[in-house]
Amino acid sequence: MTAAGVSVAGPNALGATAGEGEIVAALQALGYSLGEAREASRAAMADLGVGSTLEERVKAALRTLLRD
């Protein structure tokens, strides 16, 4: 299954987990660059972990981007 061209079934070709891929896709849809989205996604996953919802992870990633 794909969402915005990003694999959400497991690690993608770039090594991101499904959770990271979903966050990156959401942030890119909001206009952030791939690099910004990846960095914020990793920070959000480190803060919240995999047990959090996508909404919680995207919000955490956005907070990371706003701090910069």
Following DSSP, what letter does each residue of 2-67 receive, concatenated? Answer: EETTEE-SS--TT---HHHHHHHHHHHHTT--HHHHHHHHHHHHHHH-TTS-HHHHHHHHHHHHHH
| pLDDT tens-digit map of 13-25 | 444 556 789 999 9
> Which structural domain range is residue 28 located in?
2-67
Which residue type occupies 26? A
If one counts the domains in the chain, the total is: 1
- The pTM is what? 0.70
| pLDDT tens-digit map of 23-56 | 999 999 999 999 999 999 999 999 887 688 999 9
